[in-house]
Amino acid sequence: MSHDDPKLLVSTDWLARHLKDPDLRVLDASMFLPGSDRNAKAEYDAAHIPGARFFDIDDVSDHRSELPHMVPPVEKFMSRMRALGVGDGHQIVVYDSQGIYSAARVWWLFKLMGQNDIAVLDGGLPKWQAEGRETEDLPPVIRDRHMTVRRQNQMVKDVTQVSSAAKLRDTEIIDARAAERFRGEVAEPRPGLRSGHIPGARNVPFQTLMNADGTLKDPEGLRAVFEAAGVDLSKPAITSCGSGVTAAVLNLALTRMGKTDHSLYDGSWSEWGQFPTLPVATGED
């Protein structure tokens, strides 16, 4: 049973019905971790949902930062979206080639920039293709469109704010990485980072929020996952992961559950794990 919400999550059926709407804009936000032998742009060029534009997460980011794909300055976001022909009055649907992975980060980024008419495609490109739906290899026809940005600063947290939250224990810090990374049992994929997690954090690996077909669980199912991980849902939440991408899957899930007081730690473990002065916990604690 699908519950389509054009501000949050839409089904492949919904997208197929609306694909020809003049004000619909579809974004392919696929990306892969460093060391993967896959190239997101090449895969987009070979096959994408008709009319989709490629949203390059590494390009639409703050290149002044040493950290990977940090939130871009407002002006850069606006100019990149104008170049993609995405702006005011558009309904946006974002998807990726892994189901629900990097698309949630782009959904969160648009929300951070004050854009509400954006939804993640539930199940992403894998579900679209599994259902035998159309793809194309043509570049989209792009016309400039202005975008008005109102940055929602409360949606993003920096290392100082997260460090304070970890000390005060007044906020739940929820880590979307795999359990063995959270517990510090394996080396991090990015060299030079310590293993472990922010003290007091809870672990909700983002894949545990999905159904078998790669769609997001319903609100009751999501709530059960967070509660089983020991998350106190009455507290505000800060999400974190390896580099601020899959953390946004947690924000998507929390929003679907009706929770509004949550933000994302943009630097995530790429930042926390590199500073010897910041405390690191291992194991389940």
Helix (H, G, I), strand (E, B) or coil at 37: coil
Radius of gyration of the CA atoms of the chain, in A? 18
Name the active-site residue from 70, 155, 241, 249. 241
Closest CA to 16 of 134, 120, 124, 116: 134
Q: For Cα atoms 224, 227, 228, give the angle at the middle one, nearest 5 degrees.
A: 80
Q: Which residues pair with residue 173 across a beta bridge?
A: 238
Give Cα separations from 225 to 104, 182, 194, 207, 234 (angstroms): 18, 16, 27, 11, 15
Indicate the residue type of 251. N
Other CB atoms within 10 Å distance of the CB of residue 99: 22
Q: How deeply is 115 buried, as exposed, middle or buried, from its count of CB atoms within 10 A (0-12, 13-18, 19+)? A: buried
Surface-to-core class of residue 34, CB atoms within 10 Å of its CB (0-12 exposed, 13-18 middle, 19+ buried): exposed
Candidates 113, 114, 129; CA nearest to 46 is 129
CB 162 within 8 A of CB 173: yes
- Quick check: is 109 catalytic? no
Cα 217-222-223 angle, rounded to 5 deg: 155
Question: Active-site residue numbers?
Answer: 241
